[in-house]
Chains A and B, each alone.
Chain A
Amino acid sequence: MLVFEIVMVAMGAVRANILRSVLTTLGIVIGIAAVITMVALGEGAQERVQAEINRMGTTVLTIRPGQQFSMGVSRGDAEMSIEDAIALRVESEGLLTVSPEQSSRLQVAYKRWNSNTQIMGVWPEYFDIYNHQLQAGRFFNQGEVQGRRRVAVLGYNLPETLGDTPPEVLIGETIQLRGIPFEVIGVLAEKGDAAFIRPDDQIFVPQSTAQYRVMGGRDRLGSIYAATETTEQLDMAFAEIDRILRREHRLKAGEDADFNIRNSADLLATFNETNQTFTMLLAGIAGVSLLVGGIGIMNIMLVSVTERTREIGIRKALGATRRAIMTQFLVEALFLCVIGGILGVAAGYGAAEMMTRIAQWDTSVAPGAVGAAIGFSAAVGLFFGMWPARRAALLDPIDALRYE
């Protein structure tokens, strides 16, 4: 029997029971749509984080104070001071670009506008480390850090927050940080969100000014940022920082470090792991719904075989072999499932698009997932169509012809 004829017969059977076929296929459509949407969500989240981390800089190491242990008992958070930052800058001999960070949320006032904003006390190198660009004015320099000058560089969103004032107009204006007047010398270009920080909403001032004039002389740093030229230098930088800070903190060899060095790649890896677990879980749930859809297909195929027992008898009497009958019913199941798969991919794609548009969730439909989904639905069709098709093929023609 010619393959084309088999396909025509199978399609004819699907068409003849169009409502039943549509309802049966719905199980597969929903299953595949769920898989596609879930994978698109996971994929989208991953791409977003990847982009954020790339924006944050892949050569940046973040050093934070860790817990200090003594004989296994925590003595509270260790401290990191400006001395540590200076030591890193001086002793790394050009390997590291270093900036300390001392930050606090403070009230910012400009004319009649007020805002609660993250104030970052940093060195000029900070702008270099995170590759910040200016849209107006200038960065502050090392001399202004030395002189504890009251100058401020505003993040991209600040002009809007401060009364929608154009950035050019803000340059040279005075703003108050906790009542202390600062001169605005620069406004940054848009950066976008980088993982866990929102640089567009921050105000940058010299670290020394922050320490002595705004934060009351406290010299505890939130973090120290250190960047290398290339990602290949990261391992070496890691060792250098460890060596320098251990000496600064007078730690004995073998003693646990009282600081953490984090690399943005580590962050990415951690996130990916979590994200993957989540995606697998969702895909698993979607898989269960596909299984249920497959059982629906099997059920309807069994009904179809029973209903068409007489037809099978006629075909067998006229010379249809077992294989011809089996192929006919398998193609029918396969046809239902693949159509369901294609519709499911379309529906999943649509759902992912809607989530992006309405909920602003990042989604990304991978071509591999589309291929896998259609392939999988075909496999479901073959697997769940096999038993009914075999039953049809093994029918005795005499009994089948007598069937009413």
Chain B
Amino acid sequence: MGGEGTVSDEAIIRTQGLTKHYVLGAETVRAVRGVDLVIERGEFVAIMGPSGSGKSTFMNMIGCLDTPTEGQYWLNGQLVSDLSDDQLARVRNRQIGFVFQTFNLLPRATALHNVELPLIYAGIGSRERRRRAMEKLELVGLGDRMGHKPPELSGGQRQRVAVARALVNEPALLLADEPTGNLDSETSGEIMNQFEQLNEQGQTIVIVTHEHDIAQHARRQVHLHDGHIARDFLNEVAESTA
């Protein structure tokens, strides 16, 4: 590989003229209109914007769930905007850890099995899977809840299982879509603190949110409006991140 598709810099995300058009009936929806964005390794970025701003579409492309109509996207140095579905699946598996608003855990599987899931698709043997999954569950403070199934866990605990699952493959990028949207403010704070800790240990994190106080936990905010970047700025250093 290598060659023209590889850019050897510290950027985890680099987009160039990233564009996405949908055909909805007779209309063409121009959801994302040429976004250029660079996110370096170790950054903690909040992508904000009202509904209809194109942030979900942008996130789907960043998360390799969707491919752009135009433009390029390099993830961790690899050009991924032209990959096939199955190649994208492998990129998601190895480079990205997802945290969703609705948790998206398998309800019938235990917390441990849920966390093991990405490792199964990575083809890792069962003993190693178990070890790594347990390690990440300990990390998020659920070492004593491994055998529980999602319906037996609280919302905050479920989201922490999801965080453990997102981290288990040691991804280049932790991508969270409204991670606190279904949580009360206290639990939301816990999850965001967890993110901050992870970021301090060097984890690159991108969260998509429409809540300003959540975005305050990040170090940088990127505001989307009508498919363009409207504002892109660093947060004031808060007193908690010393």
Chain B 61-80 interface mask (CB, 8 Å, partner A; 1/0): 00101100000000000000
**Segment of A55-63, A199-207, A321-329 engaged in the interface with chain B:** A321-329
Question: How many chain B residues touch the partner (CB < 8 A)?
Answer: 26
A window 318-345: CB within 8 A of B = 318-324
Please give the distance in Å from A309's CB to the nearest CB on chain B: 12
- Interchain CB contact under 8 A, B120 and A5: yes
Determine how close the nearest CB of chain A comes to the CB of B130; give it in whole angstroms: 13
Report the bound CA distance from A5 to B123 in whole Å.
10
> Whole-angstrom distance between the alpha carbons of A316 and B85 in the complex?
10
- Total residues of chain A contacting the partner, CB 8 A: 22
**Quick one: given A323-B86, A401-B100, are A317 and B65 in contact (CB under 8 Å)?**
yes
Query: A1 at the A/B interface (Cβ < 8 Å)?
Result: yes
Task: Give bound CA distance, A1 to B118, whole Å.
Answer: 10
| Most chain B CB within a 10 A radius of its CB, from A1, A316, A322, A323 | A316
A73 interface residue (CB < 8 Å to B):
no
Name A317's contact: one of B94, B104, B120 (CB within 8 Å): B104
- CB-defined contacts of A321 to chain B, threshold 8 Å: 85-86, 89-90, 121
Chain A residues within an 8 Å CB radius of B90: 319, 321
Is A320 in contact with B89, judged by CB distance below 8 angstroms? yes
Q: Say yes or no: B120 contacts A2, CB within 8 Å.
A: yes
A1 touches B123 (CB 8 A): yes
* Chain A residues within 8 Å of B212, by CB: none
Chain A interface SS verdict (over half): helix
A-B contact count (CB 8 A): 59
- Taking the closest CB of chain A, its distance from the CB of B57, in whole angstroms, is 9
Set of chain A residues within 8 Å of B92, measured between Cβ atoms: 317-319
Contact B108 A16 (CB under 8 A): yes
Interface pair B121/A318, CB less than 8 Å apart: yes
Among the listed B66, B100, B123, which residue makes an inter-chain contact with A2, where contact means beta carbons less than 8 Å apart? B123
Closest chain A residue, CB of each to CB of B165: A318
Cβ-based interface call for A180 (8 A)? no
Please provide the chain B residues from 80 to 138 with a CB less than 8 Å away from any CB of chain A in the complex.
Answer: 85-86, 89-90, 92-94, 98, 100, 104-106, 108, 117-118, 120-123, 125
One digit per residue, 1 when the CB lies within 8 angstroms of any chain B CB and 0 when it does not, for chain A 11-39 equals 01000100000000000000000000000
Q: Spell out B's residues near A (CB within 8 Å).
A: 60, 63, 65-66, 85-86, 89-90, 92-94, 98, 100, 104-106, 108, 117-118, 120-123, 125, 165, 169
Interchain residue pairs with CB less than 8 A apart (7): A5-B120, A314-B104, A315-B121, A319-B169, A321-B90, A323-B86, A398-B65
